[in-house]
């Protein structure tokens, strides 16, 4: 009788050990597929209020996440153009985009209530009065916090921009959408602005 009980206990222990090995394997798979401590953001808009929101979120996120990546595409790329830099020998379409799109942070308009520039001036005045950082200060803070900026290569090519006309930013790179999607796939949070 004791032999039967011992065998039954041994079988149960063996089954439990097998289940533990299976659970450890499943746990390892879950750990490998967990998102990184990262926030990824697509910055599509070139409107002042939306760009302000993007950099406010990015600088705040830099305190919460190990890595923050901003992917600037289409109209968002014009925000990164440096007013002091000029590039010569552009084709006609590139020159036209260069003339029509804002160059840098100072030329951005509000998405709503721009009112021929009055709304923009009111917002900037209110921000100063309330002690809210300017867009230029937010960009500098993002750089200090290590926020990465990726500029969409296709958007840059379509609009005729070059890296030589963008702001000096310590952690900037040029890549395609597939590269950003790889970043976003391993992020805890992904935003579109």
Average pLDDT on 172-178 reads: 94
Q: How confident is the model at residue 10 (pLDDT cuts 50, 70, 90)?
A: confident
CB neighbours (10 Å) of residue 93?
A: 11
Residue 20 has a pLDDT of 86
Mean per-residue pLDDT over the chain, rounded: 88
Whether the pLDDT of residue 4 is over 60: the answer is no
The pLDDT assigned to 5 comes to: 59
| Position 3 confidence tier, pLDDT thresholds 50, 70, 90 | low
Tens-place pLDDT, residues 28-71? 877 777 777 899 999 999 999 999 999 999 999 999 999 999 99
Summarize pLDDT for 97-115 with one digit per residue, the tens. Answer: 878 888 888 888 998 887 8
Token pair recorded at residue 50: 């939306």
pTM equals 0.81
CB 83 within 8 A of CB 104: yes
DSSP string, 151-162: EEHHHHHHHT--
Which of 112, 32, 101 shows the shortest CA–CA distance to 72?
Answer: 101
The two counts, helices (H) then strands (E), for the chain are 7, 5
| Spatial CA neighbour of 108 closest among 81, 128, 79, 80 | 79
Residue 39 exposed, middle or buried by CB count within 10 Å (0-12, 13-18, 19+): buried
pLDDT digits (tens, 9 = 90+) for 72-95: 999 999 999 998 887 777 788 877
As a whole-number percent, the residues of the chain with pLDDT over 70 amount to 95
Q: CA–CA separation, 81 vs 104, rounded Å?
A: 5
């Amino acid at each position: 009788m004791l032999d039967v009980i011992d065998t039954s206990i041994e079988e149960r222990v063996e089954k439990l050990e097998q289940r533990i090995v299976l659970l450890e394997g499943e746990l390892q798979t879950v750990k490998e597929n967990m998102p990184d401590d990262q926030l990824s953001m697509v910055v599509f808009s070139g409107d002042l209020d939306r760009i302000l929101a993007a950099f406010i979120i990015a600088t705040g996120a830099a305190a919460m996440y190990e890595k923050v990546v901003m992917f600037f595409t289409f109209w968002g790329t014009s925000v990164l153009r440096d007013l002091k830099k000029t590039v010569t020998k552009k084709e006609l379409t590139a020159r036209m985009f260069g003339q029509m799109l804002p160059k840098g942070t100072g030329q951005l308009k509000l998405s709503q209530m721009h009112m021929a520039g009055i709304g923009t001036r009111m917002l900037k005045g209110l921000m100063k009065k309330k002690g809210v950082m300017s867009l230029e200060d937010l960009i500098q803070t993002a750089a200090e916090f290590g926020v990465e900026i990726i500029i969409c290569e296709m958007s840059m090519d379509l609009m005729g921009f070059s890296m030589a006309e963008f702001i000096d930013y310590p952690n900037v790179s040029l890549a395609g959408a597939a590269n950003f999607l790889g970043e976003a796939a391993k992020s805890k949070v992904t935003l579109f602005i």
